[in-house]
Amino acid sequence: MRILLTNDDGYLSAGINILRRVLREKGYSVIVVAPDKERSAVSKALTLHRPLRMREIGEDFYITDGTPNDCIYLALGVLEEKYPDLVVSGINHGPNLGDDVIYSGTVGAAILATHFRIPSVAFSFTGKHLEGLEQAGEKAAWLVEILLRQRLTDITVNVNFPPPPWKGIKVTRMGSKKYRPEIITREDPRGEKYYWIGIGSPVSSPEDGTDIKAVREGYISITPIHSDMTSYEHMKLLREVLKGEVS
């Protein structure tokens, strides 16, 4: 079985290197195509207005100056002879819970693989420190084995590990996690203003059954994400509102 491994924290991150080592120890063929530096919060962005470069720095280990989604495109388009059975993204340093998946480059790369009908999973570690990341890597490899057997080509599996010890695993839905806009204004030496988009203080709703509550309670959260974002329950409403105009 061949696994394509990527992330948005860059090729030097502990998460991707732990996962590469653990998966190879389990006997999988692992090809890494990762960004050459951190590319967090780029969602599903592609680089369209400049050329991309990719170079091999180790055995089946490639880096590129693009986004996580660029990594998927390059892997599938350039390394065709190494087409993967599964795409694994992570392990991300920090949570990808609730509305985080909208921004996440880690989850974005896994979702792109789903568009190509390749089973995919995104792993994130919610702890602030790296303690427990090795255990998360071992548990991730165990989940990879299960997902490879299932061949889930129509969903993306989003997994969040709280710091161990874990109480267990819960299959969850996405919770609500909203970020309040935070703009930091500065002036350059010429007196011109420039702006930083800050992280802000996220407001989350830890409702029963959500990934947010599961992780807060010490459970590993597994959330199946569908790429079809159609709100089917609102289609009837819109047909009623636009009565006479809709064919």
Instruction: Quote the pLDDT of residue 95.
Output: 94
Strand, helix or coil at 57?
strand
pLDDT 10s digits, 172-224 = 999 998 877 788 999 999 999 999 987 777 778 788 999 999 999 999 999 99
Span between the terminal Cα atoms of the chain, in Å: 48
pLDDT interval class at 54 (50, 70, 90): very high
What's the whole-model pTM score?
Answer: 0.92
Selection from 19-23, 196-200, 241-245 with the highest mean pLDDT? 19-23
Q: What is the DSSP string of 181-246?
A: --EEEEE-TTS-EEEEE----EEEE--TTBHHHHHHTTEEEEEEE-S----HHHHHHHHHHTTTT-
Is the pLDDT reported for residue 103 higher than 80?
A: yes
Instruction: Quote the pLDDT of residue 158.
Output: 98
- Mean per-residue pLDDT for 85-89? 97
Percent of the chain with pLDDT over 90: 81
Tokens 């409702």 -> residue: 207
pLDDT 10s digits, 108-124 = 999 999 999 999 999 99
Residue 81: phi, psi to the nearest 5?
A: -70, -10
Tokens 């350059």 -> residue: 188
61-64 and 54-58 beta bridge pairing: antiparallel
Q: How far apart are CA 244 and CA 227, in angstroms?
A: 31
Q: How far apart are CA 111 and CA 103, in angstroms?
A: 12
Question: With contact defined as beta carbons under 8 Å apart, do 37 and 49 qualify?
Answer: no
- Mean per-residue pLDDT for 88-106? 95
- Mean per-residue pLDDT for 12-33? 97
CATH number of 2-175+205-241: 3.40.1210.10
